[in-house]
Amino acid sequence: MFLTAPANTPAGSRWSDIRVTDTSVIGYGNNGVLTPPVNVTAGVFVGAHRGATTLSSTLPSGTTWHVTIVVQ
């Protein structure tokens, strides 16, 4: 997953690390040597069990992002 900061965001500003509310549903994957471009936050996730969980992140300005993922 890649989160790109809005165009008007100062260079170097990024979304915080993407957080998972229930890691029993989706776990953090190994991103190896993944190097995202400037102003991009990357996350690799792996479905683990059935259920739902929320991914979220925040910009330095306080703007938040979240999505609910359902694993079936």
Q: Where are the domains of the chain?
A: 2-71
- Listing DSSP states for 41-71 in one string gives EE--EEE-SSEEEEEEEE-TTS-EEEEEEEE
Q: What is the pLDDT of residue 39?
A: 87
Instruction: Summarize the chain as % helix, strand, coil (round to 5).
Output: 0, 40, 60
pLDDT of 62 > 80? The answer is: yes
Residue-wise pLDDT tens digits, 14-52: 999 999 999 999 999 876 767 888 889 999 999 999 999
Which H/E stretch holds residue 3? strand 2-4
> Mean pLDDT throughout 1-24?
90
Q: What is the pLDDT of residue 9?
A: 82
Residue 37 tokens, joined:
């471009």
